[in-house]
Amino acid sequence: MKHFANSLRAMGSWLSRLQPGIWFLGLFILLATIHAAMIPLPRVDNHLLGSDGGYYYSYMRSFWMDRDVDIRNDVALYNSRMGPDNPNRIRVLYDRSVGPALLWTPFFLAARGLTLVLSGLGVPIATDGFSYLEEGMVCLGSILYAVLGLYVLFVTLGRYVARTVSASSVLLMFLSTFAFYYTLFEPSMGHALELFTVSLFVWSILGHEPRTNSAWFLAGGAAGLMSLVRWQNCVFMLLIPYGLMRDNRQFSRMATRGAMAAAAFLAMGALQSSFWFAVFGKPLTIPQGGGFMTPLNTHFLQVLFSTRHGLISWHPVFALAALGMFFIRPKWMGAVLALAVLMQLYVCSSVTEWWCADSFGMRRMTGTIPILTFGVAFLLNVMTAQGRNRRLLAACVGGVLVAWNVLFMAQYRLGMIPAGEELTLSQMTTGKLQVFAKGYEYLRKIKDPGPVEPEH
């Protein structure tokens, strides 16, 4: 045991000497490599996109290739890659946000140009906008955005705690939550982009001193961008009045800078409103329909503790993050951050389908991760200041939380647990130990799929 403890201390000492930026660069390389290695695996829908990603991508393809917002032909092309009974087929729906399409545009256009060049050179590649090259670049872009968001969050936290504590907290919250899953396995969904945009917004308020009008204009733009990716993130704009009051003592200056932030937010929001107006004939709407949310009938306890994707039951690190919110200094900042999380919790618990369908964990709460990382950072800061044994304990707890999440991800991907139902106690605990045997069986099937059945 003593030898093990000494080994952990030596590893910790070595890691602390590395520049934290190297950690995030290494994380990006690791995620991109794993994702690229999975591309050749059998795909039942012949796409690198998945779930909501097909809708976000269709909006983008329709705008850049057809110069319109009519996605009927885009959906038809998407579905043409798979059979008529494939459950991954998408429909003509306009109930997703336009933020992902906006953020993916540079990657799509670059891949589109390369696709046309390769096709002109005689390389057999699809030119309908749904080639693996174009879809793969979009997924790679999401992974890059996610890691950039983590780095921005690290920089923000570095103003309040030691750099090593900041980097450790950010990586812990990422690797031990559903953010890791959706960045690695489902980058075409909006959650990796959400991680980036919310982190950018938090930085714009808490990561530096926005003393100028232009800085507050950019803060409003960041608020608009995170709301374009997922509309519910507009509740985090609560941080703007806190930042204005912290930085200004004159009411006139607060009003001017608040107006600058509001103008930038509205300018970004006009992109979504224009899309809705073109599709529905009105600039504001609830595209999912009136029954999507029930504000007077909430599900707080289920969202937090249910074995059906509960925030804390699936990812216990959120309990530590909540505890750490009490240690945040200054206290007013902690109170505002906690209130922002509670507002997001209220929104998510008001959704009729509160369990997020076939979700890995409570993915709708991804936007709270950059905020709750403050709780982890300040809690870890307190623990590491109390001696070597407390630091060792923190490292062990963090390792267990990451291992728990990785095994959960394996259970989910290997079909060992139901995607949209409550889990049993066995599935939540001891079932994770069966991952190794199931994974070995899965790899054997890929390597040797067995004899092919003759056609009749």
pLDDT digits (tens, 9 = 90+) for 368-415: 999 999 999 999 999 887 777 888 888 999 999 999 999 999 999 999
Residue 269 resides in a domain: yes
Residue 313 resides in a domain: yes
CA 323 remoteness from chain centre: 22
* Res. 456: pLDDT tops 70: no
- What DSSP assignment string belongs to 205-257? HHSS---SHHHHHHHHHHHHHHHHH-GGGGGGGGHHHHHHHHH---HHHHHHH
| CA distances to 48, 331, 377 from 327, in Å | 42, 8, 9
Residues present in the chain in total: 456
Residue 8 resides in a domain: no
Residue 221 resides in a domain: yes
Q: State how far the Cα of 118 lies from the Cα of 217, in Å rounded to an integer.
A: 42
At residue 293, what are phi and psi to the nearest 5 degrees? -125, 145
Q: State how far the Cα of 115 lies from the Cα of 119, in Å rounded to an integer.
A: 6
Q: Mean per-residue pLDDT for 316-334? A: 96
Instruction: Give me the domain span that covers residue 86.
Output: 24-440
- Position 454 confidence tier, pLDDT thresholds 50, 70, 90: very low
Residue 453 resides in a domain: no
**pLDDT, tens digit, 9 for 90 and up, residues 34-84:** 999 999 887 888 999 988 999 999 999 999 999 999 999 999 999 999 888
Residue entry with tokens 């998408």: 90
Residue 9 resides in a domain: no
Residue 2 resides in a domain: no
Torsion angle (degrees, nearest 10) of CA 310, 314, 319, 325? -70
Total tally of structural domains belonging to the chain: 1
Residue entry with tokens 């329709």: 62
Residue 452 resides in a domain: no
Q: State how far the Cα of 28 lies from the Cα of 313, in Å rounded to an integer.
A: 28
| CA distances to 169, 188, 356, 413 from 182, in Å | 19, 8, 14, 12
Is 92 strand, coil or helix? coil
pLDDT score recorded for residue 288: 83
Q: How many CB atoms lie within 10 A of CB 314?
A: 24
Q: How many CB atoms lie within 10 A of CB 58?
A: 28
